[in-house]
Amino acid sequence: MSKIKGFLEINRQLPLPREVRNRLADFKEVEGEVDTSISIKQATRCMDCGIPFCHQGCPLGNIIPDFNEALYNENWQEAYNILSSTNNFPEFTGRLCPAPCETSCVLGINKAPVAIEYIEKSIVETAFEKGYITPQIPKYRTGKRVAVIGSGPAGLAVADQLNKAGHWVTVFERAEKLGGLLRFGIPDFKLEKGILDRRLGLMVAEEIIFKTGCNIGTNIPTQSLLDSFDAIVLCCGSTVPRDLNIEGRKLSGVHFAMDFLTQQNRRVSALEVSEEEITANGKHVVVIGGGDTGSDCVGTSNRQGALSVTQIEILPKPPDKRHTSTPWPQWPLMMRTSSSHVEGCQREWSIMSKRFVSDEKGVVKAIEIVDIVWQDGKANFLELPETRRQIPCDLALLALGFLHPQHTGLLDNLGVEYDKRGNVIGRDYHTSLEKVFCAGDVRRGQSLIVWAISEGREAARAVDEFLMGISYLPQKATGGLSSNKLM
């Protein structure tokens, strides 16, 4: 244990983000440089519980008390070795994960939890700075060839693990740049793309093959992969967005959120935008949907110079503190405010969208909404007709989540089975086809980056067992005790 009374003497602390006026002027990350003194103090707060529920909260089973103790002792290399033993990409999760580990932290029962996410970011960034992270080329090759379809976090995790096992791995990406939603969906103010490229450069140096512009089933025959590889892993993501079928949906100015975000990411990366330009500059923006994608739209709209930004959500406003319906150590139902909301946004809950209102040119100029009252929990609601009103809206962004992966092309060509939600059925990550596997959102539906990495790691082990009969890749940690107590 690091410091016996650390959790009593030190409060939760995070570094101050960049000032709003400064960060709204660019798309650089909201947080500044890593402050190692803060992360060491936060590691000191770890109680090294007899049963560390943070293990259970983390889909990767990160060995959190152990790397906290190493960090307290300022042994950065040991801390990174422990962290990277369960997490391939802590530089991504340390920026993008909503940190379910923190909501399961035992200290969080009656105090603010340990700042685990920031500690992860600090460890990996310091490891890069000190040169601890270098290409690790496998000493032996099995001769087996694996195709990974999709270069998002699940696909990258599959590739990284299978390469460690000695297989030859080729990752196919249909876009012209690698990273999937990490590159084209996540704004740079949350993840600057140099962080992604740094990791991809390592993976290339480790002899993983990447091929871009490859839309399997369209410009590359599906059968050619079946003929050329010993195993295929589908990591295509959940890419079909949920629509809002109300009057005026086809008006100019009504767009899916991801189309809006992708365009801006392309601009930041100096990539061509060939579609109709979507911009919030000089407009009244209405974001429909209260999740993380909606929050990203808020931050992007403010940086583009929107006149106003309103975010509406059909569900009721969450409570300010953890609700009794989601007690510790469950993921809590509670109000969450992102850095984008702080930058300027009108937020409204229990709102139903009724129709988009057109101007004389067929461009959206307003959205008509109505307040609702939920009954029987979230089972039914009543509209309040007297609250029906219009609010200005020159740009409407639909951030309603995703339904399932794209079926046309690769998946239909393969003939994989789908579940009732339209996701690929992957029993133990194995599809209905002999040598085809799946992982990530394509299998479990829209989810968190940490789940994508976890799925990728587990799928890689399943593929390795299929190819070799046995696998020495690590299994997911099940939690319960930290590793120093198991030895």
**What CATH number did the domain enclosing 15 receive?**
1.10.1060.10
Q: Are residues 92 and 203 in the same domain?
A: no
Q: Report the C-alpha gap between 285 and 484 in whole angstroms.
A: 52
Rounded average pLDDT over 112-118: 96
300 with 428, same domain: the answer is no
**Higher-confidence residue: 162 or 476?**
162
Are 291 and 356 found together in one domain? yes
pLDDT at position 2 is 61
The answer to whether 66 and 484 have CB atoms below 8 angstroms apart is yes
Q: Which CATH number do you get for residue 198?
A: 3.50.50.60
Q: In whole angstroms, how far apart are CA 304 and each of 191, 194, 229, 266, 280? A: 18, 21, 45, 14, 6
Residue 474 lies in a domain: no
Least confident of 224-238, 318-332, 336-350, 412-426: 318-332
Whether 42 has a pLDDT exceeding 70, the answer reads yes
CA 452 to each of CA 405, 439, 448, 456: distance values in angstroms, whole numbers, following the listed order: 14, 7, 6, 6
Q: Pick from 86, 101, 133: which residue ends a domain? A: 133
Phi, psi of 132 (to 5 degrees): -75, -20
For the cut 50, the answer to whether the pLDDT of residue 173 exceeds it is: yes
Do the domain assignments include residue 53? Answer: yes
What does the block give as tokens for 381?
């609601």
* N-terminal to C-terminal alpha carbon distance within the chain: 15
If asked whether residues 91 and 117 sit together in one domain, one would say: yes
Residue 50 is predicted with a pLDDT of: 86
Residue 124 and residue 144: Cα distance in Å, rounded? Answer: 31
**Among the ranges given (46-50, 82-86, 144-148), the one the predictor scored with the smallest mean pLDDT:** 46-50
Of 354, 374, 400, the residue at which a domain comes to its end is 400
- Domain co-membership, 185 together with 308: no
What domain range is 259 assigned to?
Answer: 243-400
CB 261 within 8 A of CB 275: no
Q: Are 103 and 57 in contact (CB under 8 A)?
A: yes
Q: Is residue 414 part of a domain?
A: yes
Q: Is the pLDDT assigned to residue 270 strictly greater than 80?
A: yes
209 assigned to some structural domain: yes
- Quick one: DSSP state of residue 198? H
pLDDT at 485 over 90: no
Is the pLDDT reported for residue 483 higher than 70? no
**pLDDT on residue 158:** 98
pLDDT in tens, 350-362: 999 999 999 999 9
Alpha-carbon span 29 to 48, nearest angstrom: 32
Looking at the fold, whether 10 and 121 belong to one and the same domain comes out as yes
Asked if the structure places residue 376 within a domain, the reply is yes
Give the C-alpha separation, 47 to 65, whole Å: 8
Residue 179 and residue 271 in one domain? no
- Split at pLDDT 50, 70, 90, the class of 5 is confident
Let me know if residue 87 belongs to a domain: yes
Sheet holding 145-149, edge to edge: 209-211, 168-172, 145-149, 231-234, 436-438
Q: What is the mean pLDDT of residues 156-170?
A: 98
Q: What pLDDT is stored for residue 479 in this prediction?
A: 42
Q: Which amino acid is at 406?
A: Q
Do 394 and 270 have their domain in common? yes
* The pLDDT of residue 482: 35
The predicted structure's pLDDT at residue 475: 86
Residues 82 and 217 in one domain: no
Domain count, the chain: 3
- pLDDT at 275 (0 to 100): 86
Mean pLDDT of the region 337-350: 97
**pLDDT band (50, 70, 90) for residue 92:** very high
Residues 308 and 388 in one domain: yes
Do 229 and 125 lie in a common domain? no
Q: Are residues 34 and 161 part of one domain?
A: no
In a domain, 479, yes or no: no
CB 439 within 8 A of CB 154: yes
Give which of 363, 368, 362 is closest to 392, Cα–Cα: 368
Asked whether residue 400 carries a pLDDT value surpassing 50, the answer given is yes
Point out the domain boundary residue: 400, 431, 452: 400
